Structure 1
Amino acid sequence: MSVVSVRLPDDIEQKLAALAEATGRTKSWHAGQAVSDYLDRELWQVAEIQQAIEEADAGDFASDEEVAAKMRKWGARAD
Structure 2
Amino acid sequence: MAASTTVTVRMSGTLKERLGLLAEKTQRTQSFLAERAISGYVDRELEMMAAVEQGLEDFRNGDVVSHDEAKRQIRETIAKYES
The verdict on a shared fold, with TM-score over 0.5 as the criterion, is yes
**Using the alignment, how far apart are the partners of 1:57 and 1:45 within structure 2?**
18
User: Is 1:7 paired with 2:19?
Assistant: no
1:69 Cα offset (Å) = 3.3
Residue equivalent to 2:55:
52
The structure 2 residue matched to 1:67, chosen from 67, 70, 76, is 70
TM-score by length of 2: 0.80
Partner of 1:26: 29
**Matched pairs, number:** 75
Aligned-residue offset at 1:72: 4.8
**Structure 2: segments with no counterpart, 5+ residues:** none
CA distance in 2, matches of 1:48, 1:61: 14
Q: Does 1:38 align with 2:41?
A: yes
- TM-score, reference length from structure 1: 0.83
RMSD: 1.9
Ranges in structure 1 where 5+ consecutive residues have no aligned partner: none
Going from structure 1 to structure 2, the CA distance change for 1:15 and 1:57 (only over 3 Å counts) comes to same
**1:47 partner amino acid:** A
Which amino acid letter does the alignment assign opposite residue 56 of structure 2?
I
| CA distance, structure 2, for counterparts of residue 16 and residue 50 of structure 1 | 34
